[in-house]
Amino acid sequence: MAFFKKLKDKLFKSSSKIDEGLEAIVSDGGEVETTVDDSVDTVNAVAAQAGEQSAAQRAEDAEHQVQEDARLVKEQAAREAAGQAVREEAERLAAAKAAQEKREAENEQARAASAKAVQEAADEAARRAAVEAAQEAETARMAEAEAAAEEARLAEEDRIAQEARRAEEAAEAAAAESAKAARQAEEEQAAAKAGERAAEEKAAQDAAAKAEPLRSTLTPVTPELIKSTEMAPKPGLLGRLMGRSAPKTVVRRVLDDDMLEQLEELLITADMGVDTALRVTANMAEGRFGKRLSVAEIKELMANEIARIMDPVARPLPLYPKTPQVVLVVGVNGSGKTTTIGKLASQFKAAGKSVVIAAGDTFRAAAVEQLQVWGDRAGVPVLTAAQGSDPASLAFDAMTRAEADGADLLLIDTAGRLQNRSDLMEELAKIVRVIRKKDPDAPHNTLLVLDATTGQNALNQVKVFQDISDVSGLVMTKLDGTAKGGVLVALADKFGLPIHAIGVGEQIYDLSPFDPQDFADALVGYER
Domains delineated in the chain: 317-524 (3.40.50.300)
pLDDT at position 419 is 55
Spatial separation of the C-alpha atoms in residues 218 and 464, rounded to whole Å: 88
Q: Are 412 and 398 in contact (CB under 8 A)?
A: yes
- Write the CB contacts of 85 (distance below 8 Å, at least 6 apart in sequence): none
Spatial separation of the C-alpha atoms in residues 490 and 457, rounded to whole Å: 11
* Mean pLDDT of the region 28-40: 46
User: Is the C-alpha dihedral spanning 362, 365, 367, 369 positive or negative?
Assistant: positive
Spatial separation of the C-alpha atoms in residues 245 and 475, rounded to whole Å: 42
Amino acid of residue 523? L
Q: Are 450 and 322 in contact (CB under 8 A)?
A: no
pLDDT at position 14 is 42
Residue 309 has pLDDT above 90, yes or no: yes
pLDDT at position 128 is 83
Q: Are 41 and 81 in contact (CB under 8 A)?
A: no
* Mean pLDDT of the region 48-68: 74
Spatial separation of the C-alpha atoms in residues 441 and 155, rounded to whole Å: 23
pLDDT at position 278 is 95
Q: Are 398 and 410 in contact (CB under 8 A)?
A: yes
Q: Between 417 and 403, where is the model more confident?
A: 403
Which pTM does this prediction carry?
0.54
pLDDT at position 226 is 36
**Tens-place pLDDT, residues 515-527:** 999 999 988 988 8
Of the candidates 481, 523, 482, 516, the residue with the CA atom closest to the CA atom of residue 499: 516
Residue 397 has phi, psi (to 5 degrees) of -65, -35
Confidence of residue 483 (pLDDT cuts 50, 70, 90): low
**H/E segment holding residue 196:** helix 38-211
**What is the share, in percent, of the chain residues with pLDDT greater than 70?**
72
Confidence of residue 225 (pLDDT cuts 50, 70, 90): very low
- Write the CB contacts of 70 (distance below 8 Å, at least 6 apart in sequence): 3, 4
**H/E segment holding residue 413:** strand 409-413
Q: Between 182 and 343, where is the model more confident?
A: 343
Average pLDDT, the chain: 78
Q: Are 355 and 380 in contact (CB under 8 A)?
A: yes
Lowest mean pLDDT among 95-104, 238-247, 420-429: 238-247
Residue 301 has pLDDT above 60, yes or no: yes
Residues in the chain: 528
